[in-house]
Structure 1
């Protein structure tokens, strides 16, 4: 049933709705009482879409045609969690033009649709610590100048600039959450996925890129989705007439070396494999990531899942996910 602008059940559109973060957001918003509309690549039945957290599902990319099919939302649309994006640094290095279109191009299309149909809707964008790029080994502040080292990072900066432009010129409110290392069950790429498969193989030693002293700041996907929901609820509760782009880091605020997180993962997996590093730094991999989280705390939110809890959760899932198909 279509909701009106006076309904106590606000509507959120989630792009990239079949993805890792998109599905986590759908679950969070649905439990919190929002009406959840999803746009993404997933040939789900109505029952499958509801099980994933969606009241309405559109199997399509972020295109002008697909968005025009949602024009009936109009003033009923309160927020957009724009999770659709290229999610790979290596892919951006190998296919920079396509990665640009999947990140910057689709955002321009989305913002033009919102400008015409839902200028009041808050855009919640999962940006990335990749905007900081090459940075010193200290907590990174939202006020630090961007210094990306990969097309992926540059594209995230471009999207933030687009959001700022539409806020200033068209009144479209937006928040860019600069997430650091998001992980959790369902993530089949990046360091923990690759490492868990290798650590479960029974082979030892296992040699990884880098020195092991690189630092990362981890946040569980359920906490990442909870932060996006919190920011949406906060704006809904206290709307402002002045549209702008707000920036906030999304992270634990805790500095952990790659060596330490792999040791903890091996322990959670029950793997005795020796962990080594080859000293080679891959293109696009910054040495240090550590978030300053004062703005996040000032917004009234903190993560609830510790790294120990999260790695245990991930290890339990990874054991099953890496099993060969029967």
Structure 2
């Protein structure tokens, strides 16, 4: 019998990448999200069935027919912005934590053995030392966004312990790739293509990040789903895995590489101001991820070249 995966937040950046990846691997993919797509458009996006709705009790009730055929959920529905969580913390909470409460209650009643794959975040680590961050480290979030991700992990652990719902939280670090129209690389590409001779960015430039291409992020979600559902009995627990390359790169270096790829000669400067919710150092310990039998395939050089080619077409230089 063909395995079915439900992708929430299915119209989003990671959601669509997951849909394409699961479908290519032979899964039946059902999507839930905000997108008024025709059947043909939904199929192009990677979906066999599409529901244009948020993660509400009504929308989930309409999916109750999936029942035991539902083997996995890629729960990508969430607030995806640290600044938004600071500006609108209640709505950000509902989008991240509230949607998860709804989903877990539905699964408890209708699909208690489906494994929940949750794209958590390095923001759970928050303010951390300049060393590889271990899944066993004590969380120390510095934004509502990070706290909300930690709350979801706690909900997943509770439902695993109390109701037997298996789950994997993937603490992704900096996901990037074609189609991402927000965050540092999108903002920087627009500015670097503007033709101006210098550009000033927040911070010192010495902040470190650990990047993972969106296709690798989706491949990791699929790998963990296959690994869980291949087991004779799926353990009723929460597993936490970092999702990253394990490569430490400064913000300055990433922007300089991006500028070269975009053909920009702009001088890159930094204002020394640290924005609220932005930790200084992010580097993942990736031994646990490697132990699952998976490693990312896209190098940062290739991934940035991929992103720059897309950004150049999506954001042509100003006349």
User: Under a length normalisation based on structure 2, what TM-score does the superposition of the two structures give?
Assistant: 0.99
Aligned residues: 318
Residues 240-249 or 172-181, more deviating: 240-249
Deviation per residue, 1:210-238 (Å, 9 max, x gap): 00000000000000000000000011111
Q: 1:320 aligns with which of 294, 313, 316?
A: 313
Shift of 1:241: 5.0
Shift of 1:242: 3.3
Shift of 1:320: 1.2
1:261 aligned residue:
254
1:166 aligned residue:
159
Q: Distance in 2 between matches of 1:323 and 1:204?
A: 17
Q: Distance in 1 between matches of 2:235 and 2:27?
A: 24
In the alignment, is residue 285 of structure 1 matched against residue 285 of structure 2?
A: no
Shift of 1:239: 3.8
Shift of 1:122: 0.3
Task: State the 4+ residue runs in structure 1 displaced beyond 2 angstroms.
Answer: 239-242
Q: Which runs of 5+ in 2 are unaligned?
A: none
Q: Say which SS state the counterpart of residue 127 (structure 1) adopts.
A: strand
In the alignment, is residue 133 of structure 1 matched against residue 117 of structure 2?
A: no
Q: 2:233 aligns with which of 213, 234, 240?
A: 240
1:101 aligned residue:
94
Q: Say which SS state the counterpart of residue 241 (structure 2) adopts.
A: strand
Q: 1:178 aligns with which of 163, 166, 171?
A: 171
Shift of 1:154: 0.2
Shift of 1:42: 0.4
Shift of 1:175: 0.1
Shift of 1:240: 2.8
Q: Distance in 2 between matches of 1:194 and 1:271?
A: 14
Q: What is the aligned-residue RMSD (CA, Å)?
A: 1.0
Residue pair 2:193, 2:316 contacting (<8 A) in 1 also: no
2:109 aligned residue:
116
2:12 aligned residue:
19
Distance 1:281 1:239, change over 3 A: farther
User: Under a length normalisation based on structure 1, what TM-score does the superposition of the two structures give?
Assistant: 0.96
Q: Which runs of 5+ in 1 are unaligned?
A: 1-6
The aligned runs of 1:1-326 (5 Å cut-off) are 7=1, 9-323=2-316
Residue pair 2:3, 2:28 contacting (<8 A) in 1 also: yes
Q: Distance in 1 between matches of 2:72 and 2:234?
A: 16
